[in-house]
Structure 1
Amino acid sequence: MSFTDLPILGMLRNKMQWHQARQALLAENVANADMPNFKPRDLAEIGSSSGPGGMTAPSAAIVGGDGLARTDVKHIGLATADGPNATPKRFKGFEIRPGGNGVNLEEEMMKAGENQSDYQMVASLYQKSLDALKIAVGKR
């Protein structure tokens, strides 16, 4: 068993991947701030799947969106808020401009900043965990 197979490191990696995916959605919201009828989306943590040793790892669903439907199995679909274990969490804002766009740039930038700081914290925990393991086996 290698160091990287430990459950705590796997959970930290999953959390970093979740933050990366959320950052991509938030950036998409900002990029489409002027597009008519664009609905902002966010990646919300929902439920949790039990990992090894009784620990939990985050799972996620895309919240918001434009309600696209898959009419053929070959179409690429988006995860929706009405899937299993989904909780339709609406963002705090309710502003919709006359063009139908619901993106509030201030909110999106605040979310992006919070997401970035959370990612940095998880990355720091991951690095510190690896350092502690190296010390424990005398590799440092």
Structure 2
Amino acid sequence: MSVTDLSILGMLRTRMQWHQTRQKLIAENVANADMPGFKPRDLANPEIGRPGGALAQPAGAATGGGLAVTNAAHIGPAGGPEGPGADPRRVKGFEIRPSGNGVNLEEEMMKAGENQADYQMAASLYQKSLDTLKIAIGKR
């Protein structure tokens, strides 16, 4: 069994690759911020259960995960979309300019910063795991 076959290292390697791919998509969104008709893209979070991080809907698009209101007399979810557990950074809907472009530069920059921090954390954990293995086999 190779050291690189350990599940923790494989998981961290996969996570870092996911963050690299997401960073490329965020950079494409920023680069096309002035292109008419461009819709921003993002990767689905692999923790949600989408294997391989398949491409998600355009940022801010409804995914159909909420409750359907079939009658106006029904009681809605507690607190609405801004209720408990809601992400305060989440925008109610993405803005579309008259040219049809849906890129919000501020939102993309926030995503890029969060993505970079998450990548750095995964890279740091990967390095610490390798250091621990080196100590365990007496190479340090």
TM-score category by the smaller chain? Answer: 0.7 to 0.9
Residue 126 (structure 1) shift: 0.1
AA at the equivalent of 2:126: Y
Please report how far the alpha carbon of residue 94 of structure 1 lies from its aligned counterpart in structure 2 after TM superposition: 1.7
**Letter of the 1:126 counterpart:** Y
Query: Does 2:61 match 1:63?
Result: no
Following superposition of structure 1 onto structure 2, how do residues 11-22 of structure 1 map, counting pairs within 5 Å?
11-22=11-22
Structure-1 separation of matches of 2:19 and 2:111: 11
**Matching of residue 121 in structure 1 with residue 114 in structure 2:** no
1:48 Cα deviation after fit: 4.0
Residue of structure 2 equivalent to 1:110: 110
Which position in structure 2 is the counterpart of 1:98? 98
Distance in 2 between residues matched to 1:88 and 1:19, nearest whole Å: 22
- Give 1:36 deviation, angstroms: 0.3
> Where does residue 41 of structure 1 map in the other structure?
41
8 Å CA contact 1:48–1:59 kept in 2: the answer is no
Question: Does the 8 Å CA contact 1:38/1:102 hold for their aligned counterparts?
Answer: yes
Root-mean-square deviation (CA), in Å? 2.2
Structure 1's unaligned 5+ residue stretches are 50-57, 66-86
Higher share of residues assigned strand: 1
Per the alignment, in what secondary structure is the counterpart of residue 55 of structure 2? strand
Shift, 1:59, TM fit: 2.8
Q: Which residue of 2 aligns with 1:31?
A: 31
How much identity, in percent, do the aligned residues show? 74
- Unpaired runs of 5+ residues, structure 2, are 65-89
Scaled by the length of structure 1, the TM-score of the pair is: 0.72
Q: From the CA coordinates, give the structure whose radius of gyration is larger.
A: 2
